[in-house]
C-alpha cells in the first residue's frame, strides 16, 4: 500500500491524541463497585471505538500513550489518579488489556482489503476485546490483591457484566459509523 502524505499522517496523529484524551475523560466517569472498588468506567467504550477507527498500530499507540501520560503523573486514570502506583495496582491489568485488545478488534473486523465486515464481526470483535481486557485484568487483580482467581472473577468481572454488555452494544452501534471504510498505511 502506498504511504500517505504529511496531511494524512498529521490527521492520524491527531486522532491518536484525540482518543488518548477521550480515554482520559471517559476514565472520570467512574463508579467504584464492591468488593474491591475497581471502578466501572466508560473506558472500554472508548477503547473499542479507538480500535475500530485507528486500527491495530495507531490504536495500540493511543492506548500506550494514555498509559504513559498517566505514568508521567497527569491525572488521566479513573478518579483523577496518576502515577506508577496505578499501573502496578489493581487496575493496571485492565489498562494493559486496553493496549492488548487493539489488534484483536482489527483482526476480526477488517477484511484483507481493509473494508469493515458486517454486524456479526463487530459484535464478535467487541466481545473479544472485552474478553482480552478481562483476561489480563482479572488475574492481575488476583495477584495484586493476593486473592484467589475465583474471588477475582467474582469481584473483578461478574459485577461488570451489565456495563460491559451496554458498552458492547453502544460500541457496535457507534462503531459502524466510526470505522473508516478502508485501512491504509500511515507511516
Please say if the pLDDT value at position 113 is more than 90: no
Please tell me the total number of residues recorded for the chain in this structure: 187
Please say if the pLDDT value at position 187 is more than 50: no
Residue/partner pairs of 40-43 with CB below 8 Å, 24 or more apart: 40/159, 40/160, 40/163, 41/78, 42/167, 43/78, 43/94, 43/98
Please say if the pLDDT value at position 112 is more than 90: no
Write down the pTM of the prediction. 0.90
Please say if the pLDDT value at position 123 is more than 80: yes
User: How large is the average pLDDT for residues 112-116?
Assistant: 81
**Residue 96 near residue 86 (C-beta atoms within 8 A):** no
Domains in the chain, please, with CATH? 6-178 (1.10.1760.20)
Using alpha carbons only, give the angle 123, 124, 125 rounded to the nearest 5 degrees: 90
Average pLDDT, the chain: 91
Please say if the pLDDT value at position 181 is more than 70: no
Q: Which residue has the higher pLDDT, 177 or 90?
A: 90
Amino acid at each position: 500500500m502506498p504511504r500517505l502524505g504529511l496531511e494524512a499522517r498529521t490527521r492520524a496523529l491527531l486522532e491518536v491524541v484525540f482518543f488518548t484524551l477521550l480515554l482520559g475523560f471517559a476514565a472520570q466517569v467512574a463508579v467504584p463497585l464492591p468488593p474491591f472498588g475497581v471502578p466501572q468506567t466508560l473506558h472500554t467504550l472508548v477503547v473499542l471505538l479507538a480500535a475500530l477507527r485507528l486500527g491495530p498500530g495507531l490504536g495500540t499507540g493511543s492506548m500506550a500513550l494514555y498509559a504513559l501520560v498517566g505514568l508521567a503523573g497527569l491525572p488521566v486514570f479513573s478518579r483523577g489518579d496518576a502515577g506508577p502506583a496505578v499501573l502496578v495496582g489493581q487496575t493496571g491489568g485492565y489498562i494493559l488489556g486496553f493496549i492488548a485488545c487493539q489488534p484483536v478488534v482489527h483482526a476480526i473486523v477488517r477484511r484483507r482489503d481493509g473494508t469493515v465486515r458486517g454486524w456479526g464481526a463487530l459484535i464478535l470483535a467487541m466481545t473479544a476485546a472485552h474478553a482480552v481486557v478481562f483476561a489480563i485484568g482479572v488475574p492481575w487483580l488476583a495477584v495484586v490483591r493476593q486473592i484467589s482467581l475465583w474471588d477475582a472473577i467474582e469481584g473483578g468481572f461478574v459485577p461488570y457484566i451489565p456495563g460491559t454488555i451496554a458498552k458492547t452494544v453502544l460500541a457496535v452501534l457507534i462503531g459502524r459509523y466510526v470505522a473508516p471504510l478502508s485501512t491504509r498505511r500511515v507511516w
